[in-house]
Structure 1
Amino acid sequence: MNLSANDLYAIESRLGARNYKPLEVTLTRGEGVWVWDTEGKRYLDCLSAYSALNQGHCHPKILAAMTEQARRLTLTSRAFRNDQLPLLYQELEKLTGARMILPMNSGAEAVESALKVTRKWGYEVKGVAPNAANIITCANNFHGRTLGVIGFSTDPLAHGNYGPFAPGFKTVPFGDFDALAEAIDGNTVAFLVEPIQGEAGVLMPPAGYFKRVRELCSERNVVLVLDEIQTGLGRTGKLLAQEHEDIQSDLTLLGKALSGGFYPVSAVLANNDVLRVLQPGTHGSTFGGNPLACAIARAALRVLVEEGMIENARIQGEYLLKQLRAINSDLIREVRGRGLMIAMELHPHAGGAYKYCERLRDKGLLAKDTHVHTLRIAPPLLIKRSEIDFACETLASVLAR
């Protein structure tokens, strides 16, 4: 059945829950950094499905791994062993140095798993009194949309009219070391934080902040949990964003690009013994660690490394940042970011970023607005210099005046 974009939109409007307001474009095909709509028009994808498509659309090597594994075995549940999960463990260990790994599905599940396991560690290892544990998070955070997570969100749209929420969380300003140090007490079990706040508008921490945070958490016996679901796997020009300050978290959360956009795959990586508090029956997932997911993730990791995508993100990101900062426009308040994770914040007098996303779409570039005034620019990591130039020229033509 070949339906027009208008027909598809009418069906979606009639039957779909209205929890999204997508840009008016209906995509039907993708390859590399490009996508095509139902009318055959081509667009440069500068969102990458919120960094789930670091490896680009429909990468042939990941597709081949998925197809091959789907013919053999897709799901066993963790009631039985499969031959792909140990290999994924081994490859993640080699890449990241992780000492223990918990496979899950979505990024939100990885976050929830970290919340659960750090509380359990607090009671069983640190010796926190029953039901007294607290976890510190940051204002303007985004860690998913589960009921547990939105209880400590500071975004009214995320938490409005969903309460009551679970207790046991404290909020401090992102990047404020003194506020964090003051908030930690004897019952603090973890500090959950994004290395760069992506959904908040690519907010950067002060230089040296995370090195001090690492030292503080070690001194106070607090588990440092870095949510690298968006920043990880090459997005910032390093495999993990924490590498920019040469630190190592206690728990690192991965998702999104761990499957290259083919399948929901996430993981909690432990660099210490925190995950050892989990015993059979205390936590699980029917699909977590399934053989199809593991085969896909293994291929997704291989292409990142073998095809030099991480280094390309660093090189092209530096060039993109420089070119965007050179755009002469009184609409632009600030351009910030690292690697290929970049935001262009507009002045209020620009009238909001959404209308510029519409104009960019009309010129063949897809980007996303966030927090009213900010444009997020995050193309796949295999982007070429000529494609960066197209993006910069298009953005300049829309924003320059």
Structure 2
Amino acid sequence: MPDWTEHVIWWHVYPLGFVGADTTGVDRAPTHRLRMLEPWLDYLLELGANGLALGPVFTSRTHGYDTTDYFEVDPRLGDTADLEHLISECHRRGIKVMLDGVFNHVGRDFGPLVTALADPAAPENALFRRTPAGELLAFEGHDALVTLNHDNPAVAELVTAVLTHWLDLGADAWRLDAAYAIPATFWAGVLPGVRERHPEVYVMGEVLHGDYAGFVAASGVDTVTQYELWQAIWHGIAERNFFELDWALTRHTAFLGAFVPYTFVGNHDVSRLASQIPDARHHAHALVLLLTLGGTPAIYYGDERGLRAVKEQRAGGDDAIRPAYPATPADLPPGDQDPIGAATFVLHQELIGLRRRHPWLHRATSRPLDLTNTGYVLEVTDGIHRLIVALNLGDEALSAATDGARRLAGTADTIPTGHAVPAHGWAIFG
């Protein structure tokens, strides 16, 4: 894994939603909206992040995950010059840039697919998978998404060319969408050639569940999405069941022995954290975990302001979790009009600042010191340094033996045995 990843914290943005572009496919008028992200780069830095993880920016028919041209920026966002300008402005500020590549499937308007559908004898037909009945294979039942044939060397050549092309133009990292649906051997064949040309590239694969470490080893990606931890954090807190979280952290510690997971408490595919956890007093607990546990953390835009939204299983059901942002940070409501948003932003700053002062947390593992359904005290350590994190979901104070460590963040009272974290509170000691 590239050395720079030890210090990166991503701010994850879904561009088409962020800039208010139409994602239904009705309005595809060319507009240079990608430059609307530029005023937000200093906001990203103010938050404490230093990486911009972009959702799809390549030409697609609707939501970005139905790619129709891998080598062109979607006209609803602008053109290649706009993306190059954004990358340049990021690099000028010390911000890394991650692009989102959808290589499991393509949209129905993908050029070679149009050719294949027009001529059954065309060589382009070999680029796509088909069912035993000869029909194009749809990805997870979505007829608009046609699965590529990853057994065909021409597909590997295409993906290699795409990855390399945008790295040549300045990108630093790639997210591989639906990487779990593609054979690990495919990535093992593609990535060495990409790394030979760009040895500092960071490659993250979207994997939902299963043998994370095995996939990393077999595919050659640097990391995968830690969905197990995401699930355990929000669900364990919402249900007041820290035993669920502790089980996930046992597995997380094992993963850290093999690779550093990509960690998050929200993204473009799931309901907002603030909507997943009914008790608002416990939202901070999830963020504390994200920023004190080992991993490469990502903050999904809007979560830093405590936005609420629920993903729905219907057409347009993702729109609420992929909202438009104002033209500039100055257009955000002031703190007295948006106290939750302002306070949540400050909390992010505080916890990101703490993580920056303890960069060893990137590879740190954890172990429980005290565990009940509503109380969790854990040690986070790299074998040399340590923090103690205490989380309380209960109605009574939680006693934590802190071995003389001082409080670094959160709220706690000093008691003879260590510290007492108030009801529904949290604290970090070191």
Q: TM above 0.5, one fold?
A: no
Q: Which has the higher strand share?
A: 2
| TM-score, normalisation: structure 1 | 0.32
